[in-house]
A and B are shown apart, each in its own frame.
Chain A
């Protein structure tokens, strides 16, 4: 393996690849910073521009956008309470509270350090465990996938929002949205209302940009916009020793959680950040501080979402299966470049595989070295009056949505979900479970239907397989436990306090 890593470094450190890695990280951070324009849209927009460069350079740049956005997303979450992308949603809770207390610098600093540690360690783990994990994952069947996705959804609803019933409603609505489009087994169009562009399913990007980008725009338009977007001075970007001591456990746990959840289907950056937040809150000696500016609430999720990006590349490269939207786009890109991701890629394209993997290590170091000093620049970008930033957000959302399929209908979808997102905010619903369920929906449906076909219609298949059984029992307990009076009281107290200012 050492030879392979050396080969990887020799490719990743080529001047042109270093340049593409840098460009990817920079664009990734930028799109992460700008609300409404996430890595999915950025990669989609830039994909056509990569056709004239080598596959390894292209994927290095596109991967750089992915993990760069994870870092950049935290900046807007912390400074303006507006997640730059979905994985940074949870960072708003404590990051923004820290900024309001004049500790924006510490929050940004610990976020950068956590992102670096998470990203770097996950790449090292990726190098070490890619092959063995591929063997284990290959043994997973539809029941295991179904159970893993179930627990993922239940964990998100358990953690999100003040009301678990509302979160479950959001998850169910998301599952339905995931059903829209052509059924993968029967090839029958469902709930498309005759619109052919819906045959491929409801686009995730228009939905996310609508719910978060446009929803935020509408919510801001209803109030007084004469205030500037950011009023607190960012100082002391290096966290104190006390901050690091408090965050160390969260960073280590976030790295492990993020990496593992990144590998799992439907996991990825969003789920890992939510789960990390929940774990930190549960393990904390001061859970009441969560939602009020607890630094662990920033360190854990930010580490986890970066660690998840490394984990997410395992199924993509080794199995040829994308488990989230960004890796799905990357898979499409690789196929367009004539590559065949899968178990054979290590034999057929070792230079590509190890070059891209090692570039992620280099990219994470670049992000730390470049972005700690550049925090001031990003902050300046955010100091642009919101009255001027708001039209830019709208136009980026429109271009981002349009550029994916070059279809104006997607703008209508974004607008509809913008209104929905605005109303959900007003009615105190959390959109995160809906988005996760929508992404998982088609996989979830396929896993359930395939499991039932395998078992000849018997639901016992989910309980006779150990991994599936354990996951479903845990998911069931997570659904039941909040209704135990004492637990309900604890959960209400903890979540309401955490969400009050969110």
Chain B
């Protein structure tokens, strides 16, 4: 079975990406060379991408092979993947919980994931950093960070 190298695999990705760009560029008016339309440049970039991807793949075939898996061998995939999902969850929950609550949770996770601090220190640092960030940006600089539906509900329930 062909053991594709990293450049071959990434080249194949770029080829497919270029083909997709070319395909969708066709949906826009290409115009003509006298008056190029909105699809003209994307079409050219897609074609260039496919051409360069071919160069990358064929050039790499002649080279010493390095398995793509070797690049990821020492990777702590679990930590990276969980962090990506944690950030995704942050973006999803931000409008509901508001900046402060979700930031404390995210920071707690990140401090725990990145360091060897205990729960108490991590929680303290997470609360301190989040509160300071909120104070500087939302209070001093008046950046309207999301207050969250929870805050709005509580204000409606108990604020009066």
Using a CB–CB cutoff of 8 Å, the interface residues on chain A facing chain B are 45-46, 48-49, 163, 165-166, 168-169, 172-173, 175-176, 179, 183, 185-186, 188, 190-191, 214, 217-218, 220-223, 225-226, 385-388, 390-392, 394-396, 398-399, 402-403, 406, 408, 411-412, 415, 418-419, 422, 426-429, 444-445, 448-449, 452-453, 456-457, 459
Contact = CB atoms under 8 A, between A and B. Distances in A.
B84 to A, nearest CB: 6
Nearest to A225: B114
Contacts of B80: 218, 221-222, 422
Interface string B87-104: 110110011000000010
Given A45-B137, A408-B95, A448-B41, 13 more contacts: A168-B48, A190-B39, A221-B80, A391-B111, A392-B133, A398-B90, A406-B144, A408-B94, A429-B10, A449-B36, A452-B34, A453-B35, A457-B32
Nearest to A449: B36
B24 A392 contact: no
Nearest to A453: B35
A175 B137 contact: no
B79 A415 contact: no
A172 to B, nearest CB: 5
Nearest to B14: A169
A176 B141 contact: no
A428 B6 contact: yes
Contacts of A453: 34-35
Contacts of A449: 35-36, 40-41
Given A173-B49, A179-B41, A403-B137, A395 B103 contact: yes
B55 A165 contact: yes
Given A48-B142, A399-B137, A449-B40, A388 B111 contact: yes
A429 to B, nearest CB: 8
B35 A452 contact: yes
Q: Would you list the 7 A-B pairs with minimal beta carbon distance, nearest first?
A: A387-B115, A457-B34, A183-B38, A391-B110, A457-B33, A387-B114, A391-B107
B52 interface: yes
B84 A391 contact: no
Given A225-B115, A391-B107, A452 B33 contact: yes
Nearest to A394: B110
Given A218-B83, A222-B80, A456-B34, A412 B91 contact: yes
A165 B83 CA distance: 32
Given A49-B141, A390-B110, A176 B71 contact: no
B141 to A, nearest CB: 6
B41 A49 contact: no
Nearest to B10: A427
Interface residues of B, number: 67
A183 B46 CA distance: 17
Contact of B36 (A221, A387, A452): A452
Nearest to A446: B41
Interface in B9-68: 10, 14, 17, 21, 24, 28-29, 32-42, 45-46, 48-49, 52-53, 55-56, 59
A221 B113 contact: yes
**Dominant secondary structure of chain A at its interface with chain B:** helix
29 contacts: A48-B142, A165-B52, A166-B7, A166-B56, A168-B48, A169-B56, A172-B49, A175-B41, A175-B45, A190-B38, A191-B24, A218-B84, A221-B114, A225-B115, A387-B111, A390-B111, A390-B114, A394-B87, A394-B106, A395-B107, A395-B129, A402-B145, A411-B91, A422-B80, A448-B41, A449-B35, A452-B34, A452-B36, A453-B35
B108 to A, nearest CB: 9
A408 B137 CA distance: 16
A217 B84 CA distance: 10
Contacts of B33: 452, 457, 459
Contacts of B146: 408
Nearest to B82: A221
B117 A387 contact: yes
Nearest to B84: A419
Contacts of A45: 137, 141, 143
A386 B29 CA distance: 50
Contact of A395 (B88, B95, B133): B133
B75 interface: yes
Residue of A190, A223, A459 with most partner-chain B CB within 10 A: A190
B41 A222 contact: no
A403 B10 CA distance: 34
Contacts of B116: 226, 387
A429 B7 CA distance: 10
B111 A172 contact: no
B42 A391 contact: no
A46 B141 CA distance: 7
